[in-house]
């Protein structure tokens, strides 16, 4: 049977990142330095090396996102799981807050009334925060589509979009819409993504600042 390595608590993460680095090298994949922390943390969270080939970063995306965090930007996500996973302590150190409006009762009733998704309505709530917002979409393509409409009609401009919903219907198309825009972004092309991926990207951005 495979042996268990004895590790002190806290050592496992370092060893894991070493292994990820080695395997990327074996596969001949070179991640640009600026993107390394994000891509490796997503692989760490999923054990899925596909992400090394599908994550798309707009120019200087990581630098821009970190600058926004340093300036106190909030993070709005479309899933309570991602909200649970985001390191809110580090974010708070710079004056930022993480939000998820999905469980808000007003969001639910407005969505029902208008026959749209709660995710779409929750983006509208986020637009009213009146401060720079990093969107971390891990679930609902309709959240990305609502943001795309905002960007197109110019009524609200997200400061940054992490577009990593997962799924089989409208997910790929919604991500492509965001890739077209000039809003700084990190998007995972294709079907894959999820709340865990959204949280991992946020944390990769945060941890470097929190050290």
| Separation between Cα atoms, residue 136 and residue 195, nearest integer Å | 9
Evaluate the CA torsion angle 30, 35, 37, 39 in order and state its sign.
Answer: negative
Beta bridge pairs of residue 56: 187
Token pair, residue 49, equals: 């090396």
Write down the least CB distance from residue 192 to its own copies, Å: 5
Q: Is 109 in the site for its own copies (CB under 8 A)?
A: no
What minimum distance in Å lies between the beta carbon of 116 and its own copies? Answer: 6
Three-state SS at 67: helix
Q: Is 117 in the site for its own copies (CB under 8 A)?
A: yes
The answer to whether residues 191 and 166 touch, using CB atoms and an 8 Å cutoff, is yes
Stretch that binds its own copies, among 25-33, 60-68, 77-85, 153-161 (CB under 8 A): 77-85
Query: Is position 44 annotated as part of the catalytic site?
Result: yes
Structure token digits, residue 14: 């370092």
Two tokens at 138? 């891990």
Mark the segment that binds its own copies (CB under 8 A) among 30-38, 57-65, 75-83, 201-209.
75-83
70 binds its own copies (CB under 8 A): no
Residues 15, 32: Cα–Cα separation, whole Å: 21
Count residues binding its own copies (CB under 8 A).
Answer: 51
- DSSP, residue by residue, 97-140: -EEE-TT-HHHHHHHHHHTS-HHHHHHHHHHTT-S-EEEEESS-
Of 12 and 30, the one with the shorter C-beta distance to its own copies is 12
Stretch that binds its own copies, among 3-11, 59-67, 68-76, 90-98 (CB under 8 A): 3-11
CB of 5 to its own copies, least distance (A): 6
8 vs 33, beta carbon nearer its own copies: 8
Q: In whole angstroms, how close is the CB of 160 to its own copies at the nearest point?
A: 22
Q: Which is nearer to its own copies, 1 or 211 (CB)?
A: 1
By CB under 8 A, tell whether 136 contacts its own copies: no
Kindly list the catalytic residues. Answer: 44
């Amino acid at each position: 049977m495979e042996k268990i390595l004895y590790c002190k608590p806290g050592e496992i993460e370092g060893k894991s990142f070493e292994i990820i680095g080695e395997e990327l090298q074996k596969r001949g994949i070179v991640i640009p330095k600026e993107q390394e922390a994000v891509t490796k943390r997503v692989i760490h969270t999923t054990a899925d090396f596909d992400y090394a080939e599908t994550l798309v970063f707009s120019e200087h995306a990581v630098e821009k996102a970190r600058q926004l965090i340093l300036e106190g930007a909030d993070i709005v996500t479309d899933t309570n799981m991602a909200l649970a996973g985001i390191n809110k302590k580090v974010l708070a150190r710079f004056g930022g807050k993480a939000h998820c409006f999905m469980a808000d009762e007003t969001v639910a009733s407005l969505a029902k009334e208008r026959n749209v998704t709660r995710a779409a309505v929750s983006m509208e709530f986020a637009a009213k925060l009146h401060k720079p917002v990093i969107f971390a979409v891990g679930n609902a393509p309709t959240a990305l589509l609502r943001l795309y409409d905002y960007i197109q009609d110019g009524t609200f401009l997200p400061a940054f979009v992490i577009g990593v919903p997962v799924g089989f219907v409208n997910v790929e198309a919604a991500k492509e819409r965001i890739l077209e825009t000039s809003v700084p972004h990190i998007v995972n092309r294709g079907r894959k993504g999820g709340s865990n991926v959204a949280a991992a990207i946020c944390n990769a951005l945060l941890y470097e600042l929190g050290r």
